A = this chain, B = another copy of it.
Amino acid sequence: MGVLSAAGIPAALAEVAAVVEEALDVLLPLPDGRERRLVEAMRYATLGGGKRLRGFLVMEVAGLFGVARASAARVAASVEMLHAYSLVHDDLPCMDDDDLRRGQPSTHRQFDEATAILAGDALQTRAFELLAGPDTHSDPLARCELVAALGLAAGARGMVGGQMIDMATEGEALDPDEVTRLQALKTGRLIQYSAEAGAILGRAPPPLRAHIAAYGRDLGAAFQIADDVLDAVGTTAGIGKTAGKDQAAGKATVVALLGVERARAQAAMLAEQAAQHLLAFDARAGRLRALAEYVVSRGH
């Protein structure tokens, strides 16, 4: 472990991604019945790609508290299913209407709209089902906390609420507070949850859980701004999804408000702040600190 720089993060992410990928593969078995196409679409949307930032957070934070790797991988897979469902629905024609995701046809392009909607629905269901199962944690109270906290992070007061605001305000000028809230709901809450889930699994004492939550919150905010910067300056090939969409759609982003350079500076400040919340932890938090640096310096 020891001190790790952002340069080491891609390898660390890849290592954890392989673990999460394997868990996803096992947790989404293909059935023989006529509903097979549904599970094919669920697997298409979930397997084979993505940085697994959320899964990485679950597993790294769980590691701080000595959680068994199999439990953490199962929760990481659940969060990645929840995230994948949100991408499938966000890409639909009546939403962001995006044909590309991770450099591949988005799920409704690869299958069809009905199958994509149902695959997203069933991925959400499966995420909650897995969290509540006995293999997730021996203490049912921990499982309930994982479910309830994911519900709060992912629903109308979290991710879906943020997506609604994003849709409803397209082309409108939002003030900085509104943009910050939109982003916190739309992507921040689930990233924060991913970190907190590791602490819930580890039955972390409340003060440490609060530090982890604060880290996740600031990391999520930094990540989103960095993502918007990439959308503004990146190429479609480089980022694996259609570049320049935010501006074309008149989306309210920090980049649109402040410009690329000041947005970059704000992301860096938030990443620095995220790392500060980890002062209570020893060198084992090195990868989480490096992750904060990485999310604002990555090129894709």
Contact = CB atoms under 8 A, between A and B. Distances in A.
A117 interface: yes
Contacts of A167: 114-115, 118
A89 B129 CA distance: 20
**Interface residue tally of chain A, by bracket?**
35 or more
Interface in A125-166: 125-126, 128-134, 139-141, 143-145, 147-148, 150-152, 154-157, 160-165
A74 to B, nearest CB: 13
B121 A160 contact: yes
A31 B128 contact: no
B168 A155 contact: no
A33 B165 CA distance: 9
A160 B129 contact: no
A44 to B, nearest CB: 13
Contacts of A150: 128-129
A37 interface: yes
Contacts of A124: 121, 124-125
A182 B112 CA distance: 20
Given A35-B185, A140-B144, A165-B33, A160 B112 contact: no
A148 B160 contact: no
B31 A164 contact: no
Contacts of A131: 147
A113 interface: yes
B163 A118 contact: yes
A86 to B, nearest CB: 8
Given A94-B114, A140-B140, A140-B144, A154 B181 contact: no
Given A94-B114, A122-B156, A33 B168 contact: no
A134 B141 CA distance: 9
Interface of A: 31, 33-35, 37-39, 42, 85, 89, 92, 94-95, 112-115, 117-118, 120-122, 124-126, 128-134, 139-141, 143-145, 147-148, 150-152, 154-157, 160-165, 167-169, 178, 181-182, 185
Top 8 nearest A-B pairs by Cβ distance? A129-B151, A125-B155, A132-B147, A35-B161, A38-B164, A94-B113, A132-B148, A140-B140
